[in-house]
Amino acid sequence: MRYSRLLLLVFLSFIGSTVPQARAQKISSLDRGRALSMLDNVAKDIQKHYYDSNFHGTDWNAIVLKAKEQIQSESSLNMAMADIAQAVVSLNDSHTFFIPPPRPFAHTYGFQTEIVGDRCYVLRVRPGTDAEDKGLKPGDEVASWEGFTPNRDTLWKIQYRYNLLRPTPGVRVLLRDPQGQQRQVDVKAKVVQHAKLQDLTGNNIWGLIRDAETEEALRRPRWAEAGDEVAILKLPEFLVDLSEVESIIHKARKYPALILDLRGNPGGAVESLKFLLGGMFEKDITVAQRVGRKEFKPEVASSRHRGAFSGKLVVLMDSRSASAAELFARIVQLEKRGVVVGDRSSGSVMEAKRYSYSQGDDVRVFYGAEITEADLIMSDGKSLEHVGVTPDEEVLPTAQDLAAGRDSVLSHAAALLGAKLTPEDAGKLFPYIWPKD
């Protein structure tokens, strides 16, 4: 899986450098036709494959017709892409969305945000950026982003719009520091232009591979200890080789207790999820019943039985924990296997398939869509979509914790297992590694 994903990253780096930039300029008849064709391809696959044939009571054909009319009157390609995205987003489904053509540049505002409870905070600020120069700091509350109020319902839409659909030269944010003082800040984006062409037959291919390997390293599991009795596993995503999952289970069995940190984990492959679940339970576990247009078999995780980790288990969650991470935590709750600690999770739990498309002859334009093909119903008869997992013990970092780099959530989890780990020391265990620009 890692090797295949490595090649995918190299491929995306290549195609991203061959697609012309979608500037906010007058749209040509060719680009307007391309936008209409993109909408048509995506709409047809949603009509054919979307798990709910009633589209939640909406008129999908009317939604598509409205998008076509809007594209016909748009003055820029950016807005045409936004019209396609809005049509798909109207289904209000966490796993169904439009993926516009990649841009030939890297674009970042230099800071990351997170919902804690019901408020949006600056989580971290990248060194050497305008955000750092303008004084943004972890723990600053983001009260407004370009006039929008970021919360659990809107933050992902803001990020989708400003990071993917319509990147801007900068953003205006209204901040509130941990002492309650408000200030308005204009943050300039950092834009790094890619080479217009990549020579994939010479040295450039090895540079792309090295960059992809670096990205892979950032997503690999990391271990720490709280004393001699408690292992701590930071799992950034459920895209890990099954052999690596086996290694995780083998290592966990050496300890009486395990803290599995799934904070910020966006999910990943169902096979990775099932393999890890099989290593944490001494019986087979039904992950979920899959409900869609066709009849599905339930997803079942086969147990390692005596080879499973049988010690105490604490799972950490936050608002960015999504999909497979949420399924894992909820199964731990339903099976009374351990304790879930932290914040309510994302509520983004469906089963979807990625569809890829391309247009053009001399210049290929690549785009895609992710389309939900099944809802996942847990053993309690409920779906986690738009609901999320409510932790057994809600422990939220304060603005002061974020500002000081303290991890009060991990410290609390260690205390539950009888280990001593201060919030200050916990905050140093897994330092964040910024990816390459």
Shared-domain flag, residues 322 and 186: no
Percent of the chain beyond pLDDT 70?
88
Q: Looking at residue 132, which CATH number applies to its domain? A: 2.30.42.10
**Comparing C-alpha atoms, which of 90, 103, 119, 80 is closest to residue 168?**
103
Taking only the tens place, the pLDDT of each residue in 121-168 is 999 999 999 999 999 999 999 999 999 999 999 999 999 999 888 889
312 found inside a domain: yes
Query: What is the predicted pLDDT for the residue at 145?
Result: 97
Measured distance CA(379)–CA(51) in Å, rounded? 20
Q: What is the mean pLDDT of residues 222-238?
A: 96
Residues in the chain: 437
Report the domain count for the chain: 3
Mean pLDDT is lowest, of 11-15, 72-76, 379-383, 389-393, for 11-15
Query: Band of the pLDDT at 363, cuts 50, 70, 90?
Result: confident
Measured in degrees and rounded to the nearest 5, phi and psi for residue 208 equal: -65, -40
The token pair at 362 is 């001399």
pLDDT at 9 over 70: no
Shared-domain flag, residues 282 and 310: yes
Shared-domain flag, residues 86 and 152: no
The CA distances from residue 200 to 10, 19, 242, in Å, are: 10, 16, 30
Q: Looking at residue 92, which CATH number applies to its domain? A: 3.30.750.44
CA torsion, points 247, 253, 255, 260, in degrees to nearest 10? 60
120 found inside a domain: yes
Shared-domain flag, residues 277 and 145: no
Query: What is the predicted pLDDT for the residue at 12?
Result: 35
The residue out of 192, 209, 235 marking a domain boundary is 192
Shared-domain flag, residues 96 and 171: no
For 285-290, the CB contacts below 8 A with 24+ separation are 285/331, 285/335, 286/379, 287/327, 287/331, 287/376, 288/327, 288/376, 288/377, 288/378, 288/379, 289/376, 289/377, 290/351, 290/374, 290/375, 290/376, 290/377
Shared-domain flag, residues 111 and 185: yes
Whether the CB-CB separation of 322 and 114 falls below 8 Å is answered with no
Q: What is the mean pLDDT of residues 354-371?
A: 90
Query: What is the predicted pLDDT for the residue at 159?
Result: 93
pLDDT at 419 over 90: yes
pLDDT at 67 over 70: yes
Q: What is the mean pLDDT of residues 9-36?
A: 58
3 found inside a domain: no
5 found inside a domain: no
Query: What is the predicted pLDDT for the residue at 75?
Result: 92
266 found inside a domain: yes
Query: Does the predicted TM-score (pTM) go above 0.85?
Result: yes
Q: Is 405 left (phi over 0), alpha (psi -120 to 50) or beta?
A: left
Taking only the tens place, the pLDDT of each residue in 187-207 is 999 988 766 545 545 555 455
Q: Looking at residue 271, which CATH number applies to its domain? A: 3.90.226.10
Shared-domain flag, residues 186 and 126: yes
The residue segments making up the domain with residue 186 are: 106-192
Place of tokens 């995503």: 237
Taking only the tens place, the pLDDT of each residue in 234-282 is 999 999 889 999 999 999 999 999 999 999 999 999 999 999 999 999 9
Taking only the tens place, the pLDDT of each residue in 301-344 is 999 999 999 999 999 999 999 999 999 999 999 999 999 999 99
- Parallel/antiparallel/unpaired status of strands 312-317 and 339-342: parallel
Whether the CB-CB separation of 206 and 236 falls below 8 Å is answered with no
210 found inside a domain: no
CA atoms within 13 A on the CB side of 127: 5
Measured distance CA(248)–CA(222) in Å, rounded? 10
Shared-domain flag, residues 144 and 155: yes
pLDDT at 95 over 50: yes
13 found inside a domain: no
- Parallel/antiparallel/unpaired status of strands 190-193 and 105-108: antiparallel
**Comparing C-alpha atoms, which of 320, 314, 313 is closest to residue 343?**
320
Shared-domain flag, residues 246 and 314: yes
Shared-domain flag, residues 180 and 86: no
116 found inside a domain: yes
Measured distance CA(373)–CA(50) in Å, rounded? 5
Whether the CB-CB separation of 270 and 299 falls below 8 Å is answered with yes
Taking only the tens place, the pLDDT of each residue in 387-405 is 999 999 999 999 999 999 9
The token pair at 35 is 């936008």
Measured distance CA(406)–CA(156) in Å, rounded? 25
Q: What is the mean pLDDT of residues 154-183?
A: 94
Shared-domain flag, residues 271 and 238: yes
Query: What is the predicted pLDDT for the residue at 16?
Result: 34
Shared-domain flag, residues 271 and 411: yes
Exposed, middle or buried: residue 127 (CB in 10 Å: 0-12, 13-18, 19+)? exposed
pLDDT at 226 over 70: yes
Measured distance CA(369)–CA(22) in Å, rounded? 18
Cβ neighbours of 370 (radius 10 Å): 18
